[in-house]
Amino acid sequence: MSNSLVKNILRFIILMAIQVLVLNSMNLSGYLNPYIYVLFILMLPAKINRSLLLIIAFATGLVIDYFGNTLGLNAAACLVVAFLRPGTINLLFRNYEFGVNEEPGPYSIGFGGFIRYATILVFAHQLVIFYLEVLSISNFFYTLSKVLLSTILSVIVMLIALLLTSKRKKNI
């Protein structure tokens, strides 16, 4: 097994456990719902096969749906993230050439680039989750505020997790 595959399997298990055991039971004042498991999809290698990316994202969403009893909401949101991810990477990082197994993380694309990348995709994820959850636009601005606040919290939690676990590459 390659080092990248082992790292992604461990990342999947750890992020799923944190999401299912800790964050799914956390609901801060009715607005904030942090979703850290999306980081798994964001941190997959930049040059991953698109079909494989969609399959992995769907499976990731199904795992969260199974444990959260959310009937496909997370699977749908993860598919949207996986669909938008290649275009977002191409749009934001046109001039950057990714290596074969290189991840679009904060140390490779910079913290500002990672924050933009993560914010766009997490916002799309939250938008799908919250609007599919209510299936109505009658409280459009209330739901949009939940989307925005949860996006900000999720990106902050992701950055903290990455800063605590990532090793900075040394330039020689």
Does residue 113 belong to any structural domain of this protein? yes
Q: Given pLDDT bands bounded at 50, 70 and 90, which one contains residue 5? A: confident
* pLDDT at residue 33, rounded to an integer: 81
Q: Across all residues in the chain, what is the average pLDDT?
A: 89
Query: Exposed e or buried b for every residue in 115-130, given b needs 16+ CB within 10 A?
Result: bbbbebbbbbbbbbbb
Does residue 172 belong to any structural domain of this protein? no
Residue 63's domain comprises 3-165
Q: CA-CA distance, 46 to 74, in Å (whole number)?
A: 22
List, for residues 125-171, the tens digit of each pLDDT value: 999 999 998 888 888 998 899 999 999 999 999 999 998 887 665 44
Helix 111-134 to helix 140-165 angle (10° resolution) is 140
* pLDDT at residue 29, rounded to an integer: 65
The pTM assigned to this predicted structure is 0.90
Does residue 171 belong to any structural domain of this protein? no
* pLDDT at residue 71, rounded to an integer: 87
Q: CA-CA distance, 163 to 151, in Å (whole number)?
A: 18
How many independent structural domains does the chain possess? 1
Does residue 99 belong to any structural domain of this protein? yes
Does residue 170 belong to any structural domain of this protein? no
Does residue 47 belong to any structural domain of this protein? yes
Residue with tokens 């944190």: 18
Does residue 122 belong to any structural domain of this protein? yes
Does residue 146 belong to any structural domain of this protein? yes
